[in-house]
């Protein structure tokens, strides 16, 4: 029989990526068991419904085969919010906080694990960064909940207790870029989440803040003292601005010219819906208007691209991340300009960073292609464009849906759960977790040529 010391040593010998995979799997198991309790739902949830909901919450995706506001009790809704919070903040961050609370020194292995989980460039100052970020997260979510409560208490047909619950739930869901809502399926809210300007502005603000990432939030918190921002922060803020407003303009154009779902709205309202939907598509998953599944083909293609890019590294969102997209874009631009190195803002991007970005990009495309293929061959009646949309939404932990998620079989749900799991941990994390360590080679081979183009 293995001793506790033996079990501890076994965990210590595991690679860091494998620890992340096992940790998230255990959290999914825990979430499934809690949601399966009789008092967590208005009706007994099937095993498939409980597992899918737990995976979607812990990967902060938002795809759902139940209506949480209708099918879950208040206890179940609180559990769902807690799972979203754990998945958003990151279970490795919570582990470090717990270690600090019990007085244990955070060891180098723990710091390295946290660095990999957050996608940080350095293991230094991790505990201080996490402490500041967690305080900032609590403040921003509380402010968002307060704003929603003040607005909804006089505008929604809900009791005071339900308004408080709904305000906190949607503040957490929006900031964590989860996209779960408690309005869908309720007869008093046939269009789902309220789509008035104030509600959408509050939700969009929380989504943007949650999608910036812990490194950016930490950098912004120290800006008043240091008066300088890191290269990562500057690139992230610029790219987020361009993707949001540039994407919003393109969405507005596609819906206007193709007479899409919001073409009947006045121009100002149409642009507001377009901007919110583009912000939400970068991994949040809220539908800003009714009949979302009737958006134009051009708008669908645009959202697929934005979901694929996703949010910033070490954020509440998914996708290949803005960092990967920026590096691949800069490398392409540098090649076209015949530059010897990939450069940005008088800085050179390392070859290792470039190789990792290309690997994430290629592995992600292979994953999406494989998952789409599996969905199409197991569901002959499912259109390819809808299959691609659902798969990319799951990979980006977005949660937007054109209606296919509720129509597919358990096999399709299993495919989407794998994609959500993969999308939250990151392609390279899972690849590294499953890879066999190899001996370091000390032999250099001569260059060979492969024709390109």
Tokens of 133: 């970020």
Between CA 210 and CA 208 the distance in angstroms is 5
Q: Could you tell me where the beta strands, DSSP code E, fall in 290-409?
A: 342-344, 347-349
Joined together, the tokens standing for residue 36 give 């399966």
Query: What pLDDT score does 284 carry?
Result: 83
pLDDT digits (tens, 9 = 90+) for 76-114: 999 999 999 988 876 556 545 544 444 555 556 655 655
Q: Which two tokens stand for residue 4?
A: 């506790």
Containing 40, the helix (H) or strand (E) segment is: none
- Residue pair 398/281 in contact (Cβ under 8 Å)? The answer is yes
What's the DSSP call for residue 406?
T
Instruction: Please name which of 133, 144, 187, 185 lies closest in space to residue 166, comparing C-alpha atoms.
Output: 144
Neighbours of 354 (CB within 10 A): 17
Q: How many CB atoms lie within 10 A of CB 248?
A: 20
Task: Note whether 59 and 423 are within 8 A (CB).
Answer: yes
| pTM, rounded to two decimals | 0.86
- Chain mean position to CA 90: 11
Instruction: Identify the segments of the chain with pLDDT beneath 70.
Output: 1-17, 90-127, 129, 427-442, 453
What Å distances lie between residue 86 and 53, 60, 92, 453, CA to CA?
14, 9, 9, 46
- Give 182-194 pLDDT, tens digit per residue: 998 888 888 888 8
Give the SS3 label for residue 349: strand
């Amino acid at each position: 029989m293995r001793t506790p010391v033996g079990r501890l040593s076994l965990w210590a010998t595991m690679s860091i990526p494998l620890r992340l995979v096992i940790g998230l799997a255990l959290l999914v198991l825990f979430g499934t068991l809690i949601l399966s309790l009789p008092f967590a739902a208005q009706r007994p949830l099937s095993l498939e419904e409980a597992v899918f909901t737990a995976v979607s919450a812990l990967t902060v995706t938002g795809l759902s085969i139940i209506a949480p506001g209708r099918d879950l009790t208040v206890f179940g809704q609180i559990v769902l919010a807690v799972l979203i919070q754990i998945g958003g903040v990151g279970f490795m961050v919570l582990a470090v906080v717990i270690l600090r609370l019990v007085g244990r020194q955070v060891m180098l292995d723990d710091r390295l694990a946290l660095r990999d989980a957050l996608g940080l460039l350095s293991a230094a100052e991790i505990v201080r960064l996490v402490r500041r970020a967690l305080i900032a997260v609590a403040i921003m979510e509380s402010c968002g909940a307060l704003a929603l409560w003040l607005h909804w208490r006089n505008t929604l047909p809900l009791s005071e207790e339900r308004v408080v619950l709904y305000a906190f739930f949607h503040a957490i869901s929006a900031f964590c870029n989860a996209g779960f809502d408690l309005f869908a399926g309720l007869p008093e809210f046939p269009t789902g989440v309220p789509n008035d300007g104030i509600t959408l502005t509050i939700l969009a603000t929380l989504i943007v803040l949650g999608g910036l990432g812990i490194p950016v939030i930490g950098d912004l918190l120290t800006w008043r003292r240091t008066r300088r921002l890191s290269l990562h922060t500057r690139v992230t803020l610029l790219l987020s601005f361009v993707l949001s407003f540039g994407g919003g303009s393109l969405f507005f154009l596609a819906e206007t010219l193709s007479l899409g779902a919001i073409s009947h709205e006045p121009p100002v309202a149409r642009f507001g819906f377009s901007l919110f939907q583009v912000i939400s598509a970068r991994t949040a998953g809220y539908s800003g208007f009714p009949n979302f599944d009737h958006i134009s083909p051009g708008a669908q293609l645009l959202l697929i691209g934005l979901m694929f890019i996703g949010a910033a590294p070490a954020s509440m969102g998914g996708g290949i991340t803005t960092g990967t997209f920026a590096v691949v874009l800069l490398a392409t631009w540098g090649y076209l300009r015949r530059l010897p190195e990939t450069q940005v803002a008088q800085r050179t991007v390392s070859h290792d960073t470039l190789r990792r970005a290309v690997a994430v990009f290629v592995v992600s495309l292979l994953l999406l292609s494989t998952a789409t293929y599996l969905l199409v061959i197991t569901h002959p009646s499912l259109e390819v464009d809808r299959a691609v949309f659902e798969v990319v939404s799951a990979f980006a932990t977005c949660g937007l849906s054109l209606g296919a998620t509720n129509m597919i079989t358990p096999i399709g749900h299993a495919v989407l759960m794998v994609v959500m799991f993969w999308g939250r941990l990151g392609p390279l994390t899972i690849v590294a977790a499953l890879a066999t360590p190899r001996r370091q080679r000390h032999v250099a081979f001569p260059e060979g040529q492969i024709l390109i183009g």
